[in-house]
Structure 1
């Protein structure tokens, strides 16, 4: 939690804060600047620090939505020019994209913003933007430099450009794909690498990401069944971001998962050595850290409150159910979603 809350020091408190554990006890005044001691105080009184700050007080929600709507249009145009190998100023677009990434790395509610639904025709562009943003966020969580985070954002942005070479009917199919159709879609990795390799303004790692983002560190991915030592670490980060975003958005026959369901699947893949645990666990810790003291629904349909996040098993926190406490590491229950 310390790593996560460090990023919110300095934010303004949006309203007067009262204790959740001692009725009527006043803690912090509206407009105060959040400090490390404040975070400790809030946690002691069972308040999620993320719930009391104004992370977007200087940026109206409509402005945020417009920013990402415009970004989708810019990405469409950029992808088109790159695929058609037309003369295009990619550097100018990347400069604008860099501003969006800088904003995303400071905006605590960014995951909720980027996971709003878009028309099916825009899915590939939204997915590309989202994977770029999430990759950069993971880079920041792991303590990578700003330069590396921005490189990750570009790797994530362009990772699926090869999909635009696939028959659109396959991408919009409402039923599960046949083995033959799935093999055809897998070609997007080699298409993407060929497309991006021709763009001199892009780092060579970006075209390699298009080729390798579906490789698994246990050697069971595609197109080349590479193992961990042959997959650059930054590309392994993009693979986690790609998997997470795919689960958290609606697309054709796949239903959108809750963050809790997506986290469970990510951790299972890490346990199975498909995704790198050194990436998955810090990322899922970050997501779960923002859910502290959240009311959630368990797999038995009962409502509980998240009380404590275990660092190495963040998907199985300690929860309070009525007057008892349940350590989900030792129970046959899971969190399925936020309580309504």
Structure 2
């Protein structure tokens, strides 16, 4: 554990020192801890789509960010997810060497995630630190799994359930890899036909997973149902209420929040509290499950420890007391004024501040 601050790559200043390694989409190391970031390195990270990095910062030297999931676990998880999704997507059936072994392969690393999330209080403070690249299906899948397992722990699911939930959420979007990337990455509004094609990924993914001999039906159904909604407005089967499996209900909340808070080719990421407002509105309208949303509110911090934020008055601040249980109102420490000049650090409790609020996230 060490004093760190999460900052969006586009706002990193030259000569900043990495406090954590930077992985690629397969979990392999791009840059190691301790590297001094130059202009060219920063540009390269942005070109690769690296959203944020963790840097050393003396202004936050008393802030110690704990790892909710060990680096070694994340490396294994990203690599296995990338390889497995790619393999399932490019071949009609997994090669013989992998056939009927996916659950066996994933179970040990998912168990490690369960144990590590449980030991760190179900990741209430620090889930955002798993973000690496926006718009990458592999990273989206891992992030959704972290949220889903966190919610599953809060809901009291047993270990066997958590393993099936974890594996199912890791593979829930495999069907998208069989679709035209031009449609998936289209920057503008989808046509009705393009949206119909996108909707096919749910059933395609389910069919792919059900052909794998050792993946449980409870895991596979997440791929089929994670876009259903309790009021029947979802797809592909317009299921309602209890017709939607609990695992799929957990996945739909995790999937929506992760998608809203990540940058996409067609829009910027929503602020966490704005994303939460959308989820709460959908819950009030009967689209999302109340029980799962209550677990979300009780465990997931919108603005975790060490996150850099820009305030409405232009000042740069860092979160020093996470926002669990008070939603969009963390305690922040101001470290720069609106003109980018360092200031003598001072703290603001945004729950009681009436003239300033978070305008943007810079991590």
1:151 to 1:51, Cα distance in 2 relative to 1, 3 A: farther
What's the TM-score, normalizing by structure 2? 0.63
Please, which runs of 5 or more residues in structure 2 have no aligned partner? 4-61, 333-346
Q: What corresponds to 1:93 in structure 2?
A: 105
Contact 1:307 1:317 in 2 (8 A): no
User: Post-superposition shift, 1:133?
Assistant: 2.1
Q: What corresponds to 1:202 in structure 2?
A: 215
1:212 to 1:300, Cα distance in 2 relative to 1, 3 A: farther
Q: What corresponds to 2:291 in structure 1?
A: 278
Contact 1:212 1:235 in 2 (8 A): yes
1:316 to 1:323, Cα distance in 2 relative to 1, 3 A: closer
CA deviation map 1:59-110 (0-9, x unaligned)? 5x6x566445423443345534774343213244223442552365245466
Does residue 114 of structure 1 match 2:144?
no
User: Post-superposition shift, 1:257?
Assistant: 2.5
Contact 1:216 1:274 in 2 (8 A): yes
- Provide the rounded CA distance (Å) in 2 between the counterparts of 1:266 and 1:338: 19
Higher helix share: 1
User: Post-superposition shift, 1:270?
Assistant: 1.2
Contact 1:75 1:125 in 2 (8 A): no
CA deviation map 1:236-260 (0-9, x unaligned)? 0011111111112223213222322
Number of aligned positions between the proteins: 284
Please, which runs of 5 or more residues in structure 1 have no aligned partner? 1-12, 16-49
Which deviates further from its counterpart, 301-310 or 71-80? Answer: 301-310
Contact 2:144 2:169 in 1 (8 A): yes
Contact 2:73 2:113 in 1 (8 A): no
- Provide the rounded CA distance (Å) in 2 between the counterparts of 1:161 and 1:153: 14
CA deviation map 1:255-306 (0-9, x unaligned)? 2223222222221211221111211132123224875999976778799999
Q: What corresponds to 2:195 in structure 1?
A: 182
Does residue 74 of structure 1 match 2:83?
yes
Matches within 5 A, 1:46-85: 54-55=66-67, 63=72, 66-80=75-89, 83-85=92-94
> 1:259 pairs with 268, 272, 278, which one?
272
- Provide the rounded CA distance (Å) in 2 between the counterparts of 1:174 and 1:295: 27
> 1:156 pairs with 169, 177, 183, which one?
169
Q: What corresponds to 2:44 in structure 1?
A: none
Contact 1:308 1:318 in 2 (8 A): yes
Q: What corresponds to 2:178 in structure 1?
A: 165
Matches within 5 A, 1:1-340: 54-55=66-67, 63=72, 66-80=75-89, 83-87=92-96, 88=98, 89-99=101-111, 101-102=113-114, 105=117, 106=119, 108=123, 111-117=127-133, 123-288=136-301, 314-315=326-327, 336-337=359-360
Contact 1:319 1:327 in 2 (8 A): no
Contact 1:78 1:93 in 2 (8 A): no
- Provide the rounded CA distance (Å) in 2 between the counterparts of 1:153 and 1:220: 25
The higher relative CO (CA closer than 8 Å, separation ≥ 6) is in 2
Which deviates further from its counterpart, 293-302 or 251-260? Answer: 293-302
User: Post-superposition shift, 1:213?
Assistant: 1.1
CA RMSD of the aligned region, Å?
Answer: 4.0
Residue 187 of structure 1 aligns to a residue whose secondary structure is helix
Contact 1:14 1:52 in 2 (8 A): yes
